[in-house]
Structure formats: structure tokens, C-alpha cells
């Protein structure tokens, strides 16, 4: 029997995406500084994709690349590149160009970090069902993805864990990780939890980091939903 030493497979991952609409180096540097200052642990050593679809000129691409790297990001690749001259500049800088067809968008807007989700899971859920239940604790580093389904967790979710679902997400325990509902763009999806300490909550791409969650809801039961493209939060019950 032939022994496998290398295996090439497709995979799926969740990335932050930096949408560039301005190629001013000082502006980019200031924006990243302010963004990281709010939540340094979340952005530390984060892999990101850069979307340049909003740029008319990338003559200073090397400076753009270097200033982003200087803030501790790892650039996975570049997307939104439809100009042959731009593509040559990107390739010459040592970065790959990623096809947008292979990335599932979760929207977050204007000159901003955007979450792009190719939902990943170390605990794989592959059946297409209405609801998936998990009654075990979700540990740091675990990633759960419920495809075309709601996800219900009847235990605690540790910091560093990630829950992704195409539908709603319910957590009947302490929530300390990241939660992304409506991963394929369903704006009617909601997040429900009994004790909210999340690192990040996101619905159809609109997101809050931990310091953006209204303080009166920290540690409390809550439901999070979209209204007029903005995240809202109410108490449960």
C-alpha cells in the first residue's frame, strides 16, 4: 500500500479583509493604528486579504504593503484586482491574487476591515439539516461551521473558539469566543446567548468587537440582530 506523505486538498478559512478606497499611506497607517488600539489581541498576527477594487492607482503599492505588514498583519493575498498592470505589480511584490469566486463575503463597510468567511471547521458539520446541536464545550482553537443550518450550543464557548452558521446561532452557556451568523448573507439571522462575553459577534458581515458591545449587556442574556443594516441588541425575555 502506497504511503501518503503529502496530500493536497481544498480548505476553507475565515479572514479579515482590508478594503482599500484610499492609497494615502498616512491615512492607512492612522486607520490601522486606531483600529488595532481598540482590540490589540484580536488583530495580533491576524492573516488578512487586501481588496483593491476601490483603488484607481497602486503606484505606491510597496509602501501600502509595508505599512500594513508593519502593524503585525500577515497578508494572505490580494483580491478585487481586474487590471493587468495592477496584477503585475501585485505578483512582483510577492503576493498571490485570490479569485473572489472562491471567497464568501460577509459585509463590513467603507475603508474598513471586513470579515470574509470561507467558513472553516475543525469539527465538521456536513449534512444539510435545519438545526445542528452540540452539547459539549467548545474549546479555544475549535471552529464549528453549520452549513445551510442553524447552530445550537448547549454548553460553554471558550475564548479563541469560533462558531459560524449560515442561519441562527444559539448559545446556552457562557459565550467568550467569536460568533458569525448568517455567514452566506442571510440578514434575518440572529444570535442568541445566555451569558455574553464574546470576542466578536457578526451577522451577515456586520460585526462588533468586544469593546463595541454595549456594556449593559456584558454577562447578560441577549439577542443580536440586524436592523437597517446595523447590529442591534436586546435582552432575552
* 147 in the same domain as 90: no
Lowest mean pLDDT among 14-18, 31-35, 214-218: 14-18
**Residue 141: predicted pLDDT:** 84
**Residue 69: predicted pLDDT:** 92
* 225 in the same domain as 134: yes
Name the residue range of residue 92's domain: 14-117
* 216 in the same domain as 177: yes
* 215 in the same domain as 140: yes
Q: Quickly count: other Cβ atoms within 10 Å of residue 35's Cβ.
A: 17
pLDDT mean over 139-150: 88
Domain ends where: 117, 147, 174?
A: 117
Backbone φ and ψ of 76, nearest 5°? -80, -35
* 173 in the same domain as 73: no
Say if 106 falls within a structural domain.
yes
* 127 in the same domain as 231: yes
Judged by phi (left if over 0) then psi (alpha if -120 to 50, else beta), residue 19 lies in beta
Percent of the chain whose predicted confidence (pLDDT) is above 70: 82
What pLDDT band is residue 12 in, cutting at 50, 70 and 90? low
Say if 42 falls within a structural domain.
yes
Say if 1 falls within a structural domain.
no
Cell of 27: 491615512
Report how far apart the first and last C-alpha atoms of the chain are (Å, whole number): 60
* 130 in the same domain as 111: no
3-state secondary structure of 148: coil
* 66 in the same domain as 151: no
Cell of 70: 508593519
Tally of structural domains, the chain = 2
Q: Is 125 within 8 Å of 138 (Cβ atoms)?
A: no
Lowest mean pLDDT among 4-13, 95-104, 120-129, 152-161: 120-129
Amino acid at each position: 500500500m502506497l504511503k501518503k506523505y503529502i496530500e493536497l486538498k481544498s480548505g476553507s478559512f475565515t479572514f479579515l479583509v482590508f478594503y482599500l478606497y484610499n492609497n494615502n499611506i498616512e491615512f492607512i497607517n492612522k486607520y490601522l493604528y486606531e483600529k488595532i488600539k481598540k482590540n490589540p489581541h484580536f488583530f495580533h498576527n491576524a492573516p488578512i486579504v487586501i481588496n483593491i477594487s476601490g483603488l484607481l492607482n497602486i503606484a505606491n503599492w510597496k509602501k501600502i504593503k509595508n505599512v500594513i505588514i508593519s502593524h503585525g498583519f500577515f497578508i494572505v493575498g490580494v483580491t478585487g484586482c481586474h487590471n493587468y498592470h495592477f496584477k503585475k505589480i501585485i505578483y512582483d511584490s510577492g503576493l498571490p491574487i485570490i479569485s473572489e469566486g472562491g471567497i464568501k463575503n460577509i459585509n463590513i463597510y467603507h475603508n474598513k476591515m471586513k470579515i470574509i468567511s470561507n467558513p472553516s471547521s475543525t469539527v465538521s458539520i456536513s449534512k444539510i439539516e435545519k438545526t445542528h446541536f452540540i452539547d459539549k464545550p467548545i474549546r479555544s482553537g475549535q471552529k464549528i461551521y453549520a452549513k445551510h443550518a442553524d447552530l445550537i450550543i448547549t454548553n460553554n464557548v471558550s475564548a479563541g473558539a469560533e462558531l459560524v452558521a449560515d442561519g441562527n446561532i444559539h448559545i446556552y452557556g457562557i459565550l467568550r469566543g467569536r460568533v458569525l451568523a448568517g455567514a452566506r448573507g442571510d440578514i434575518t439571522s440572529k444570535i442568541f446567548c445566555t451569558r455574553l462575553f464574546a470576542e466578536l459577534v457578526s451577522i451577515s458581515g456586520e460585526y462588533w468587537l468586544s469593546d463595541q458591545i454595549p456594556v449593559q449587556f456584558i454577562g447578560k442574556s441577549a439577542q443580536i440582530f440586524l436592523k437597517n443594516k446595523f447590529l442591534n441588541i436586546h435582552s432575552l425575555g
